[in-house]
Amino acid sequence: MKLKNPVLRGFHPDPSMIRVGETYYIASSTFEWWPGVRIHESKDMVNWRLLTCPLNEKRLLDMTGNPDSGGIWAPDLSYYEGKFYLVYTDVKVTDGSYKDCVNYLTTAVDIMGPWSDPVVLNTAGFDASLFHDDDGRKYLVNQYWDPRSFHHPFYGILCTEYSEQEQRLIGEPRVIYRGTIDRFTEGPHLYKINGYYYLFVAQGGTVYAHQERVARAESLDGIFETQPGEPFLTTLDAPFHSIQKAGHGSLVQTAAGEWYFAHLMGRPLHHDTESVAEVRGWCPLGRETGIQKVIWDDDGWPHIVGGHKGMEEVEAPQDVQECIWEPDCPEKDDFDDEKLNHHFQTLRVPLDEHTLSLKDCPGHLRLYGRQSLASAFLQAHVARRWQSFTFDAQTKVAYRPVTIQQAAGLTCYYNTKNWSCIQVTWNETYGRVIDVVATDLGKTFSVYKDTPVPVPVDAEYVFLKVEVRGIHYQYFYSFDGKTWNGTNYIFDSAGLSDEYIKAVYDAAFTGAFVGMVNVDGLGTAIPADFDYFIYKELNAKVDGKYI
């Protein structure tokens, strides 16, 4: 049995993987998407399913007004003596000399909760994780942020003892590792193996120069020595490899004693070009999760099986039976359940019954109009991840706008400054119309301008669709669900990628989403009723490339 990378497709970065009994868990970052943190489970490390999103109450997480790519960075999941520990960072400032990130700890006896009220640990940096030593003492390690303009902001890895009894950090904080010349030392995870303390850290930044390094010491008070030679994991020297951006991960041991490393990775799309810069390409699916097998040499250092680039196909653990889960997200969601499927998320905050309802119009997802897609506060916007380079997404909406301030439709979204939407809205000349609107690096434009598509007066529903085909995507509309008309603009998928947005903005760490939105600037909150949502992956290839 083999596992194929990525094991978690689409935006699932910064994996924290643990094993409890026969079950493996991976916690991953969600940034500004609510609820916070996604936890997947597996019995065989091959087949995974989304289990829970634990930060699902405002007492645990309030991201109101958080900037793009703020919010939950690199959660850490651990288990010790019958209790789960979840450490997470809520980043309130992303640009400039300050991060203003708050590190919290919450615990639960059951992975499904309830989770305890969070304990504030520190605000000294991000990517915090909790280490449980053999003697029961606990230590927080986190990236240590340096706001001084004349220093590199990634100062090193800070280690501070945590008192569970007092529910606070105690003792003297100490920088235990500064990293190598590649800098950007972050994402620390600490383990004690065969008498050594091993520190796994990410370096190089979460771009194509990303890497994972390993250091070790005989005690936490000792000097951490970097593993000699090449990085533990990187694809910096392999621009044509199927896995890119490899780094930032966590180590786990199977019941039979095998070792594996879960890490973030990217799968770039590229335009037709021969340049290495373009071949590295664009990753609209965001940073995903891969897993590599690990072996140890005679000197006690770990190595990725197959070399430091990692492999797309990896031997699965030998001590498990294959476990295939039942699908938990239908291809077509008719919105007949009382709760929204957990693969859908909202931005920054939960949407209460005054904004989102599955009861007010039975068999529909009703969204009451709220703020625009540029808002960092309250959007009536429900979306799910792009998880394939080739898919169709479709919805059917009943909506009657009466002013230019009202619009509802189908979105492809990266952040408040990079998104597109095919929407039903209103026009002074034509009345109810279809338009396509997009924001590219903060600049908004309308595809149809003064000549939008009129909606027939007797049309109760409008059908909207997007076809994603690799590096391009296009919107379509229909008034009967049978005859489809393509809109006269083809979008570049690169515009929904970290790489594209980082050319202007420092903080770009998520991935593309597709979903439904309702905007009402007048405060009248008129409803848009979405009858269904279809997400159908095609996985089409031509000459070995996604189309």
Q: 27: which residues sit within 8 A by CB, 6+ positions away?
A: 15, 16, 37, 38, 39, 75, 76, 77, 86
Paired residues of 140 in beta bridges: 130, 160
Cα(411)–Cα(29) distance, integer angstroms = 22
Kindly report the three-state secondary structure assignment for every residue of 123-135: CCCCCCEEEECCC
Tell me phi and psi for residue 388, to 5 degrees.
-145, 155
Cα(402)–Cα(410) distance, integer angstroms = 19
CB-based contact 437:421 (threshold 8 Å): yes
Cβ density class 235-274: b for 16+ within 10 Å, e for less = bbebbeeebbbbbbbbbbebeeebbbbbbbbbbbbbeeee
* Tokens (6 digits) for 378: 């309250």
CB-based contact 383:349 (threshold 8 Å): no
CB-based contact 355:347 (threshold 8 Å): no
Query: How many residues does this entry show for the chain?
Result: 547
Handedness of CA 165, 166, 169, 172 (dihedral sign): negative
Q: Is 277 helix (H, G, I), strand (E, B) or coil?
A: helix
- Catalytic residue IDs: 14, 186
Q: Is 365 helix (H, G, I), strand (E, B) or coil?
A: strand
CB-based contact 304:234 (threshold 8 Å): no
CB-based contact 374:440 (threshold 8 Å): no
